[in-house]
Structure 1
Amino acid sequence: MASHTKHIVLLVGSTGKTGSSIVRALAKLPEKYVIKALVRRSSMDKPIVQEFRNLGVEIVPGDLAGDTQESLETKLNNVDIVINATIPVEDGNQNKLFLAAKNASVKRVVPSDFGPSAPPGAMKYQDTKLKIRQFIIENEIPYTFIQAGWLTSLLFPQSHSVVGNSPMGKQFYGSGKVKTAYTALERVGEFVARIIGDPRTLNQTVQAYDGEATLEEVWTIASKVTGENFDDYTRLSAEDIESTLRDGPDFLTALLFEYNRSALIRGDNTVENAVSLGALDARVLYPDYVPLGLEEVAKQVYGKN
């Protein structure tokens, strides 16, 4: 096991939006973290990988799907913390990674999550995440599970000038009066940087969030910032969502509808509910954290800065 003062962190899925947010936040704390990123050989020449090199990140050639458990163990030698930011569709690859981490005496694993909180049975995608969590616990692998609430950029409606009708961007779900916890994407990395170095969060679930708001509040702010009226966008009730899900939509539509039903109609994604399910409140752990307000986020989303 490593015996150094800095935490050596290996990140899987570093080039995605969530992963890159984490890399950039960790890179601001060179006194605390040494960063490694597992990157496919085919992605080595991407601009974002060069950006990581410029930030002092060590690029480790590898592929979560293509590497064996044994080859992953070798790459995890002397690593303290493993973070997976890939999409958690398949259990097998994550399980392989975490078993390799256990054999390599990694001190903490963070599985792919970084999304809204929900109880078992609320949606299939969340149940996949919960299954991975249970695998980690049953195999006695030290962990931290990080929930980040709803990403603010996905709560705001698309401008009328945007071509195409996104399943989320031009649709309003439910009454609009249900609270949901939210986090700005660029702040996910900041939360992760705090959480993974905190001994209080070992073997805990942490609810990270900037604040809570209703969809009605979010869209009102969107109208204020853009000057647009979004009343012409599609309004979907709980019955509309249930009907669509019964019809067997494609994976992405089903995923988005289940998420919206859980967070914006059932009201699962609140800090109160997350804490009742055993999560630690990140805003209590870190009272000095300065959250991004929704109007500030809206200006970023719509390029009004």
Structure 2
Amino acid sequence: MNYSQTVDAQSILVIGAGELGMPVLRNLARKAKAHEGTTVSVLLRAATVESIDPVKKRDVAEIRALGIEIVPGDILAASISELAAIFAPYDTVIGCAGFSAGRNTPMKLAKAALEANLKRYFPWQFGVDFDVIGRGSPQDLFDAQIDVRELLRGQDKTDWVVISTGMFTSFLFEPIFEVVDLKKNAVHALGSLDTEVTLTTPDDIGALTAEVVFAQPAIRNEIVYLAGDTVTYGEVADKLQTVLGRPFTKSEWTVPQLKSELAQDPDNHIKKYRAVFAEGKGVAWPKRDSFNERNGINVTTAEEWIRENLRS
């Protein structure tokens, strides 16, 4: 661990309030109450704040009820210098905008964080271990994340923290991913039935991110690994059978098969993700080595998620 002492109070800005941003904001607001002088803010587009969409209206109302300040800004429209000016008043900035913001946005935000001379920056890297996967993987978006890591490691003015979470648990069961087919009671293993994947829920990531942000001595310049569960695809099928009480067939989608399918449809992001997870590199790590396990923090296992979300 690479630690440094920091003052207790800090000003924190979160970029985005989506599937991960909301859990991060809720938990930061809760933890901030125990740290006098600490403030939490969120960067949102004006269109989001003014939206009549019921979900966005509910989220904005919750953000305000939590005492979180809303800072208007558009990470796509703003320049690096304009974003740096927004970031500059804060000690810590946490990126929760996700890949939907576009391939070039992670680097744009990282450059703005450095130009703002932040004390600490958490880039959007809530996912797999890009270092282990390396350049040239089936998911070309990952190369942009490696670029961000190299930029942050190549300087010493702003501390950084990367939080690796594996796959969002719910994504494994999304119909569009086709790994789990609940209608046909089938599991299509990526790579092999013995290939492992680390799964963590956004709610757990939010709670654990808050723990990392407020940890003393402060965590800096390192990768923090979280793990709700680390399982093989064969174990996923077994857990589905046990919890749902019906048999599931198991089949393997091999790496050559998935890469062949991707070659025929090279812009398909779902097929890119399937191929990279099938390779099994950098997508799983032992739960016993995770931040949550080492600190005795309870998280949702795959079986618990299935029990809570898939039993009708």
Which TM-score applies when normalising by structure 1? Answer: 0.82
Gap change, CA 1:255 and 1:86, over 3 Å in 2: farther
Counterpart AA for 2:244: T
1:227 matches 2:275: no
**One-letter code aligned to 1:151:** F
TM-aligned CA deviation for residue 210 of structure 1: 2.1
Q: Is the 8 A contact 1:22 1:188 kept in 2?
A: yes
Out of 155, 176, 180, the residue aligned to residue 197 of structure 2 is: 180
For 1:134 and 1:165, the matched residues in 2 are separated by 33
Matched length: 285
With normalisation by structure 2, the TM-score equals 0.81
Q: Is the 8 A contact 2:20 2:96 kept in 1?
A: yes
Tell me the secondary structure at the aligned position of residue 133 of structure 2: coil
> Could you tell me which of 4, 11, 15 is aligned with 2:14?
11
Pairing 1:96–2:105 present: no
The superposition leaves residues 185-222 of structure 1 with CA deviations (integer Å, 9 ceiling, x where unpaired) of 21001111111223452011111112321111112212
Structure 1 residues 165 and 131 mapped into 2: Cα distance closer, same or farther (>3 Å)?
A: closer
AA in 2 matched with 1:252: H
**Which of 296, 302, 305 pairs up with 2:304?**
296
Which deviates further from its counterpart, 239-248 or 186-195? 239-248
Give 2:81's aligned residue: 70
SS of 1:269's equivalent in the other structure is coil
The 2-side partners of 1:99 and 1:18 are apart by 22
The one of 37, 41, 45 equivalent to 1:36 is 41
Contact 2:164-2:225 at 8 Å conserved across structures: yes
Task: Tell me the CA shift for residue 287 of structure 1.
Answer: 2.2
Partner Cα separation in structure 1 for residue 113 and residue 283 of structure 2: 30
Q: CA deviation at 1:180?
A: 2.4
Change (3 A) 1:91 1:108: farther
Q: What pairs with 1:97-246 in structure 2 (closer than 5 Å)? A: 97-117=109-129, 118-121=132-135, 122-123=137-138, 124-140=140-156, 141-156=158-173, 166-170=177-181, 171-198=188-215, 199-231=217-249, 235-246=252-263
Rounded Cα–Cα distance in structure 2 between residues aligned with 1:74 and 1:34: 18
Distance 1:185 1:65 in 2: 24
Structure 1 alignment gaps of length 5 or more: 159-163
Q: CA deviation at 1:106?
A: 1.3
Picking from 24, 27, 30, the partner of 2:29 is 27
Q: Is the 8 A contact 2:104 2:144 kept in 1?
A: no
> Is this contact kept in 2: 1:83–1:110, CA < 8 A?
yes
Q: Quote the residue 2:184 is aligned against.
A: none
Moved >6 Å (runs of 4+): none
Alpha-carbon separation, structure 2, partners of 1:73 and 1:178 = 42
Question: Does the aligned pair in 1 maintain the 2:228–2:302 contact within 8 Å?
Answer: no
CA contact (8 A) 1:154 1:168 kept: no
Per-residue deviation at 1:143?
Answer: 0.4
Is 1:282 matched up with 2:291?
yes
Letter in structure 2 aligned against 1:219: A
Q: Which runs of 5+ in 2 are unaligned?
A: 1-5, 51-55, 182-187
Q: Does the CA contact (< 8 Å) of 2:193 and 2:251 recur in 1? A: no
Q: Secondary structure at the match of 1:206?
A: strand
More displaced stretch, 50-59 vs 222-231: 222-231
1:249 aligns with 2:235: no
Root-mean-square deviation (CA), in Å?
2.7
